[in-house]
Structure 1
Amino acid sequence: MRIALVSDAWTPQVNGVVRTLTTTLARLAARGHDVTTIVPSDFRTLPCPGYGEIRLALAPGRAVARRLGEAMPDAVHIATEGPLGWAARRWCLSQGLPFTTSFHTRFADYLAVRTHLPAELFWTTLDRFHRPAARVFVATPTLEKELAGRGYARLHRWGRGVDLSSFTPAGERHPEIAAMAGPVLLHVGRVAPEKNIEAFLALDVPGTKVVVGDGPARAGLEQRYPQARFLGALHGPPLAAAYRSADVLVFPSRTDTFGLVMAEALASGTPVAAYPVAGPVDVVTDAAIGALDEDLAAAVTRALACDRAACAAAGRLFDWERCTDQFLAGLSPVMAERLAA
């Protein structure tokens, strides 16, 4: 199958969306599918305000149309609602071609956090973007229910996976984290306001708080919480070692649609503490592998008593092959619609 994958989120960005898309691309290629990517590195870009590491394509409309026309894809999947996503959507509609989209990120909630304006002001744009899609891919039952309540009618479940060859309980520990006074409470992810990391750092709980990741809020948080350890972004074996060296992964975000780091932590044998909100409620489904509580400190305390073997077993259920099957299944109705046209 010839597939066009359009995304405003791509390397060198480091986040769950990019990991999901790049892993899916590799799995599709391994199965013999021909995938054309349309990503920011193909265009002139400007830094996203407040996120210098995120590059936005500058006036990409004509170039996107040309690339899609040349690729002659059997299916077009638009992963993000940025300049490239809107350009691809516009081309598909102009050609009368069905396309699929993904709802990866709660941009409405993110913007509400940053602007202090009601999230509903931004939801209108997201709804408009996804409304013409033949299928809207969602990662969890909770998000599917929420979007259905907003009138989304053509939803398709596309789960998330973990690199189970890297994220395992067995393996080297992170030497710096292993030397810290326990319990070690770890946060992994972009260090940005919408991740609500301050709720983690302000907890009055024993142990050492560790933040792995980088982003625009890092300098301010380091200044306000000098007792916490900020290790910057980690990848590959060092990241896997960090997970397995921690006693609990603390996930304080209230705005994520999934939270891939929770699945990675579980696969590494590390329990999760989080709020009982969308994302965590779909990942931490058993009290044996983590704790969800509006009192995050109480969640941390309960998570410390969780069974690491049960965590690892739960983490192994996040299989990328199954997720790739789901991705392709979501494209099938699009193929059928094109053949019937």
Structure 2
Amino acid sequence: MKLLIASDAYHPQVNGVVRSLEQMVRRAPEHGFETALLTVADFRSLPLPGYPEIRLAYAGRERVAARWRAERPSHVHIATEGPVGLAARRHCLAHGLPFTTSYHTRFPEYLAARAPVPEAWSYAYLRRFHSAARGTMVSTASLQDELSARGFPRLMRWTRGVDTGRFRPADPGAPVPAELAALPRPLFLYVGRLAVEKNVAAFLSLDLPGTKVMVGDGPDRARLQALAPGARFLGTRTGPALSALYAACDVFVFPSLTDTFGIVLLEALASGLPVAAFPVPGPNDVVGGTRVGCLDRDLRAAALAALALSRTECRAEALRCGWDVSARQFFGNIIAAHRGEREDRDAA
């Protein structure tokens, strides 16, 4: 079986969509699939205004059709709702091909934060986009309930995971990364895009002891640095450098009000780092009801309370969230949807 994954988000972008898809590609052979990718790299593209790291493809019909003839996929998954996703959707509908989709990002809220576009308009577009699919995969129970209430049909659960080999507590005696060594503790860490929709200013405005450590980049970086000159902005980190930063800090602060999941939450837990966040979907689904995170409408109170949580319990919680569970759900959904099964698939 060959699965074609169409996505506007893929390397060199660094985000949760890319991490999820690369893990599915890596694990596809274990589930009997070969994979092919249809991404922005296959087309001419332009940078998205305000987000130059994100490119918008000119996904022409002929180029898409040529890729289909070359790959001859037996299954199709459309991961994003941008130009590449639209082109793949259009091709599938024109040729009567079944496909699945996934809902990763709250674009209506993100767009409304930047432009006077009513959320209802954006949700109407997204509902139409996904309603043509045999199934739409969502990451959490709360998101599934919300989208169902908005009229999205045929929702299927696809959880996310974490590489617990890459993200792990520091070995005893391991040196603290040089950029953190002289900073006053405790170290409150943020990892993610520096953009208005991430609500990063809510974290930077907190009166906390120690140091705020910011990992990531984005269009709002200059404004945020001016807002919090005492914070340390380290830019983007990946691989072992990122893992070492997680393991060396004391609390992971997640200020977003709109993320649908937050893979960084699992990366923090795998590194032994307790979580502080608002009690909203995403954090509620990942750490709600556990002893590895503090959720409070007062984010400062949550951050301070998280200092007392057990790093050992954080690691143990993450060990239950491997990418193998995520891949089993993903490929199970692909097969079920292709066969025309209509029931929601909620269990791992």
TM range (shorter): over 0.9
* 1:169-248 alignment, distance < 5 Å: 169-171=169-171, 172=174, 173-248=176-251
Q: Is the 8 A contact 1:64 1:84 kept in 2?
A: no
Are 1:133 and 2:102 matched, yes or no?
no
What's the offset of the Cα at 1:250? Answer: 0.4
Question: SS of 1:137's equivalent?
Answer: strand
The residue aligned with 1:44 is: 44
In the alignment, the residues of structure 1 paired with residue 59 and residue 92 of structure 2 have an alpha-carbon distance, to the nearest angstrom, of 17
Q: Answer yes or no: is 1:158 the counterpart of 2:158.
A: yes
Counterpart of 2:9? 9
Aligned equivalent of 2:96: 96
Could you say what the CA RMSD is over the residues aligned between the two structures, in angstroms? 1.5
Q: CA deviation at 1:116?
A: 4.4
CA contact (8 A) 1:74 1:335 kept: no
Q: When the two structures are aligned, how many residues end up with a matched partner?
A: 338
The CA deviation string for residues 99-152 of structure 1, in whole angstroms up to 9 with x for no partner, is 000000111110011114432221111111101110100111111111111122
Q: What TM-score results when the alignment is normalised by the length of structure 2?
A: 0.94
Structure-1 separation of matches of 2:214 and 2:263: 16
3-state SS of paired residue (2:4): strand
What residue in structure 2 maps to residue 55 of structure 1? 55
Contact map agreement 1:100 1:331 (CA 8 A) in 2: yes
Alpha carbons of 1:267 and 1:73: their partners in 2 closer, same or farther (altered >3 Å)? same
Q: Distance in 2 between matches of 1:14 and 1:202?
A: 26
Instruction: Provide the secondary structure at the position in 1 that maps to 2:334.
Output: helix
CA displacement at 1:66 relative to structure 2: 2.2
**Aligned residue identity for 1:115:** A
Find out whether 1:294 has 2:297 as its counterpart.
yes
The aligned residue for residue 303 of structure 1 is: 306
Aligned AA for 1:75?
A: H
In 1, distance between residues paired with 2:181 and 2:319?
A: 24
**Greater Cα shift, 209-218 or 121-130:** 121-130
Q: Does 1:19 align with 2:19?
A: yes
Question: What secondary structure is seen at the aligned counterpart in 2 of 1:232?
Answer: coil
TM alignment of 1:260-271, pairs within 5 A: 260-271=263-274
TM-score by length of 1: 0.96
* Alpha-carbon separation, structure 2, partners of 1:286 and 1:183: 25
CA contact (8 A) 1:3 1:33 kept: yes
Alignment partners' CA distance in 2, 1:221 and 1:286: 32
Q: Which letter maps to 1:292?
A: L
Q: Name the SS of the counterpart of 1:55 in structure 2.
A: strand
For structure 2, which runs of at least 5 residues remain unmatched after alignment? 342-348
Query: Is the 8 Å Cα contact of residues 48 and 54 (structure 2) preserved in structure 1?
Result: yes
Retained in 1: the 8 A contact 2:8–2:85? yes
Alignment partner, residue 346 of structure 2: none
Name 1:148's counterpart in structure 2: 148
Return closer, same or farther for 1:258/1:233 CA change in 2, 3 Å cut-off: same
What is the percentage of aligned positions where both structures have the same residue? 51
Asked if 1 retains the 8 angstrom alpha-carbon contact of 2:99 and 2:338, the reply is: no
Amino acid of the structure 2 residue aligned with 1:66:
A
